[in-house]
């Protein structure tokens, strides 16, 4: 069978797709990048916002319209929160909720009566990761969240916290490394809560990975800035753990953070950032900010803006608040007018770009090992531009001859010029 995998949303959804791809292949099926050629299409949906839920519905309808003969399996947060609606959409054959998605492959094969081909499953298969055009792998280590931030529907959709055993994570990383992957990113809904149900911590997991795998680059996905283990910061002394963290701040105003039910005050956030930057030069901190949260006064917005500017970030994901039914924030008073949210968003986008350029410029002249990717752009004179990432997650562009190949190689590169969207580098 030809299987096509599609996702909307977070890196955790990406990690789940990779796990399913590997499992389908072990059962003798093939992964295809063309949805129109697939016998089965699996969609990992999203519902983090009302717009994400709408896009999930649109994707389901489009996939069915383009390939009406394919069996259509829908999972993810939209399918979990709106199961009856998802099941009623034209073309949907099977809906699998988040709590059952660990058995998605087995359930799909059995309920859709798809015969497996054991003889084929023993033959070398095209690596699913590269079949979908990836040069790094997301590894899911944890699901669910015990907290209830007032704006978040994901914790409802994902359920209680559940951590994968350390050995299972190690085995998956070793398998990926054997396939040629040189960087993995650990992901979870509440990554910092890893091990809460296993009597260990995220630090324990990282130490075990560094000790029992040879993966050259280990990166952490989005990490809430609380509950960090006491020995967490010293882990970055190991050069295999990449000096970049995405720490969602959401607001730089403590009163807004209280309404959001966030568990990290600005003072505590600033202390974390300071410790990381003192320990490792050029440590990159990126973040999420919600603009126009209910009740956000002009003073709160100014306090937030000032704190963000004072902290400095390499990149900011900016979200304009929109009501999400099922969350506490949807019922809060003093919803912010759209025009005000738009003005604040524009102001923050300008600041974010300014800070990004400042961080890029601060790295010019430095030399880093850059992991180069497969994507390239043609240039005159039989050359092409290739792209890769530094350990601290700066996007670097280099120029090589058309006869050269650097995909999935890690090469020492000196950063030379700060461009608008990337940094130019010279190979050493």
User: pLDDT digit string (tens) for 42-77?
Assistant: 999 998 888 888 999 999 999 999 999 999 999 999
Residue 131's pLDDT is: 46
pLDDT at 119 over 80: no
Rounded Cα distance between 40 and 405, Å, is 34
Residue 1 pLDDT grade (very low, low, confident, very high; cuts 50, 70, 90): confident
Tokens of 254: 């403590």
Q: Of the candidates 246, 306, 297, 298, which has an alpha carbon nearest to the alpha carbon of residue 276?
A: 246
CA atoms within 13 A on the CB side of 157: 29
Rounded Cα distance between 195 and 400, Å, is 45
Of residues 398 and 114, the one with the higher pLDDT is: 398
Q: What percent of the chain has pLDDT over 90?
A: 71
Residue 65's pLDDT is: 92
Mean pLDDT, residues 163-187 taken together: 94
In three-state secondary structure terms, 214 is coil
pLDDT at 195 over 90: yes
Residue 125's pLDDT is: 37
Tokens of 282: 């050029």
Q: What is the mean pLDDT of the chain?
A: 90
Kind and range of the H or E element at 253? none
pLDDT at 115 over 70: no
Whole-structure pTM value: 0.85
Tens of pLDDT along 224-273?
Answer: 999 888 899 999 999 999 999 999 999 999 999 999 999 999 999 999 99
Tokens of 222: 């989005």
Residue 116's pLDDT is: 47
- List the Cα angle 373/17/137 in 5-degree steps: 30
Residue 368's pLDDT is: 97
pLDDT at 85 over 50: yes
Q: How many residues does the chain have?
A: 428
List the domains of the chain with CATH numbers.
Answer: 2-121 (3.40.50.12160), 135-242 (3.30.750.210), 367-427 (2.40.50)
Tokens of 265: 């005050």
pLDDT at 121 over 50: no
Cβ neighbours of residue 35 closer than 8 Å, sequence gap 6 or more: 4, 6, 41, 63, 66, 67, 70
Residue 123's pLDDT is: 34
CB 39 within 8 A of CB 72: no
Rounded Cα distance between 153 and 142, Å, is 17
Of residues 363 and 154, the one with the higher pLDDT is: 363
pLDDT at 393 over 50: yes
Residue 124's pLDDT is: 33
Minimum mean pLDDT range among 27-31, 162-166, 414-418: 27-31
Mean pLDDT, residues 83-101 taken together: 91
pLDDT at 333 over 50: yes
Distances (CA, A) of 14 to 17, 257, 337: 5, 29, 34
């Amino acid at each position: 069978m030809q299987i096509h995998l599609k996702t909307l949303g977070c890196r955790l959804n990406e990690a789940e797709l990779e796990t399913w791809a590997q499992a389908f292949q072990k059962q003798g099926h093939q992964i295809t990048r063309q949805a129109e050629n697939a016998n089965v299409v699996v969609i990992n949906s999203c519902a983090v916002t009302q717009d994400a839920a709408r896009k999930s519905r649109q994707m389901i309808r489009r996939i069915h319209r383009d390939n009406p003969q394919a069996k259509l399996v829908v999972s993810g947060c939209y399918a979990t929160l709106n199961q009856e609606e998802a099941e009623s959409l034209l073309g949907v054959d099977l809906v699998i909720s988040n709590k059952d998605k660990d058995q998605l492959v087995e359930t799909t094969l059995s309920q859709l009566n798809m015969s497996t081909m054991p003889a084929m499953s023993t033959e070398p298969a095209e690596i699913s990761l590269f079949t979908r055009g990836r040069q790094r792998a997301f590894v899911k280590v944890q699901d669910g969240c015990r907290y209830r931030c007032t704006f978040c529907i994901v914790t409802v959709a994902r359920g209680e916290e559940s951590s994968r055993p350390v050995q299972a994570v190690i085995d998956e990383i070793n398998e990926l490394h054997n396939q040629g992957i040189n960087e993995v990113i650990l992901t979870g809904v509440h990554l910092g809560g890893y091990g809460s149900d296993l009597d260990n911590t995220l630090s324990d997991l990282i130490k075990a990975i560094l000790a029992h795998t040879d993966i050259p680059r280990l990166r952490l996905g989005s990490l809430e800035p609380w509950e960090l283990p006491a020995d967490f910061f010293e882990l970055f002394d190991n050069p295999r753990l990449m000096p970049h963290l995405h720490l969602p701040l959401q607001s730089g105003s403590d009163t807004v953070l209280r309404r959001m039910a966030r568990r990290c005050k600005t003072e505590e956030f600033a202390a974390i950032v300071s410790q990381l930057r003192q320990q490792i030069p050029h440590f990159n901190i990126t973040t999420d900010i919600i603009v126009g949260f209910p009740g956000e006064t002009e003073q709160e917005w100014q306090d937030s803006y000032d704190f963000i500017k004072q902290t400095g970030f390499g990149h900011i994901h900016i979200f304009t608040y929109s009501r999400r039914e099922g969350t506490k924030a949807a019922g809060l008073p003093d919803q912010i007018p759209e025009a005000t949210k738009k003005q604040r968003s524009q102001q923050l986008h300008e600041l974010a770009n300014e800070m990004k350029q400042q961080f890029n410029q601060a790295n010019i002249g430095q030399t880093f090992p850059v992991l180069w990717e497969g994507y390239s752009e043609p240039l005159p004179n039989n050359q092409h531009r290739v792209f890769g990432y530094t350990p601290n997650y700066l996007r670097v562009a280099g120029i090589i001859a058309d006869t050269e190949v650097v995909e999935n190689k890690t090469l020492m590169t000196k950063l030379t010029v700060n461009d608008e969207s990337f940094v130019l580098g010279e190979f050493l």
